[in-house]
Amino acid sequence: MTEEIDWASLPFGYVPTDYNVRCTFRDGKWGEIEVTTSDTINIHMAATALHYGQELFEGAKAFRGKDGKIRMFRIEENARRAYDSAEGILMEPVPEELFIKMCTMAVKLNERFIPPYGSGASLYIRPFELGISPRVGVSPATEYMFVVLVTPVGPYFKGGFQNTKICIMREFDRVAPRGTGRFKVGGNYAASLRAGKMAHDGGYSAVLFLDPKEKKYLDECGPANFYAIKDGKYITPASESILPSITNMSLQQLARDMGLDVECRHITVDELDTIDEAAACGTAAVCSPIGQIDDLDTGKKYIISKDGKPGPVTTALYNKLNAIRLGEEPDVHGWNTIIE
């Protein structure tokens, strides 16, 4: 029962909710939307999702605002990105209207799991698509299942907004130079797990991956984008192997609104010596400020935060984006979808 949920201490995990919604593509068309209470799916054991990685997913959040209204943040961007991911691995793309409709339904149907305003918690929306046709030879499916599940998640920063330490490691790549890095597909995550575990075992929150071709430029920070603040500019890596983060895109706009220049370009490892702030960004945390970056191969330590506290620009961006998502500040860019 929702009365028993301790919103503030919820982990980023799976809490069962009442319903999820599904739709199947078969015989060349998407069928009826199904609402179900079951949290298991029944698919063929030879489904392409299971053997050949035809799987994509998205991550978004819904919030209970200051005015009591429910808001989804930039869900149409998730719909667009899922469409690109589907095309990237030859899956049937989910039409954007269907994607948004099903996310809206999943949120509404589970309204009692939307954490109250002020709790710091939110309702995480996880849409995903699977190739379900049986195949033994390598080829794309002709049938697909699209599912939207939602689950309440607690605040990312349980001990307050604080710095983390990350590391650079050249032993592993998350993705290939012209591979699937810019698509949100499960295979990329499988490829990052070993590096991530080594980082965690070493006391780091994530790996700052270098570009997989030259190992010269910064790429992604674990499952998040990376940005830095340098001389009053917001700089973030530009590369074909980076997943286009909606949070990063939003922070760039907010940085411009604050009068900062934004540069999307290569950032060399050496340049870390010259930056004022750094952070990882994504839906889960918004910004996760980085205090220190250790290069495990050279032994060099980049101390980004001199006083051990998150920098002023990152703090301002973090507060601004959260305020917009919660309806505390005007949504001048039209990022929220209000669910009536």
Ligand X SMILES: *Cc1c(COP(=O)(O)O)cnc(C)c1O
**Beta-strand relationship, 301-303 and 286-295:** antiparallel
Nearer to ligand X (CB atom), residue 93 or residue 223: 223
Nearer to ligand X (CB atom), residue 155 or residue 282: 282
Distance of closest approach, residue 248 Cβ to ligand X, in angstroms: 6
Distance of closest approach, residue 219 Cβ to ligand X, in angstroms: 10
Please give the Cα distance from 311 to 303 (Å, whole number). 13
Distance of closest approach, residue 223 Cβ to ligand X, in angstroms: 5
Whether residue 136 contacts residue 85, with contact meaning beta carbons closer than 8 Å, is answered with no
Query: Other C-beta atoms within 10 Å of 262: how many?
Result: 15
Distance of closest approach, residue 46 Cβ to ligand X, in angstroms: 27
Nearer to ligand X (CB atom), residue 5 or residue 235: 235
Whether residue 316 contacts residue 258, with contact meaning beta carbons closer than 8 Å, is answered with yes
Nearer to ligand X (CB atom), residue 122 or residue 248: 248
Distance of closest approach, residue 188 Cβ to ligand X, in angstroms: 6
Distance of closest approach, residue 107 Cβ to ligand X, in angstroms: 17
Nearer to ligand X (CB atom), residue 101 or residue 126: 126
Distance of closest approach, residue 247 Cβ to ligand X, in angstroms: 3
Nearer to ligand X (CB atom), residue 134 or residue 187: 187
Nearer to ligand X (CB atom), residue 131 or residue 223: 223
At residue 279, the 3 state secondary structure works out as strand
Nearer to ligand X (CB atom), residue 65 or residue 244: 244
At residue 81, the 3 state secondary structure works out as helix
Distance of closest approach, residue 339 Cβ to ligand X, in angstroms: 20
Applying CB under 6 A, the residues found at the interface with ligand X are 59, 184, 220, 223-225, 243, 245-248, 282-283
E strand map for the chain: 20-26, 29-30, 34-36, 55-57, 60-64, 70-73, 122-131, 144-153, 164-168, 206-210, 218-221, 225-230, 233-237, 261-265, 277-282, 286-295, 301-303, 336-339
Please give the Cα distance from 58 to 77 (Å, whole number). 10
327 sits in the region (left: phi over 0; alpha: psi -120 to 50; else beta) called: left
Give the Å distances, CA to CA, from 9 to 18, 113, 117.
21, 14, 15
Please give the Cα distance from 332 to 216 (Å, whole number). 38
Per-residue b or e along 264-301, where b marks 16 or more CB atoms closer than 10 Å to that residue's CB: eebbebeebeebbbbbbbbbbbbbbbbbbbbbbeeeee
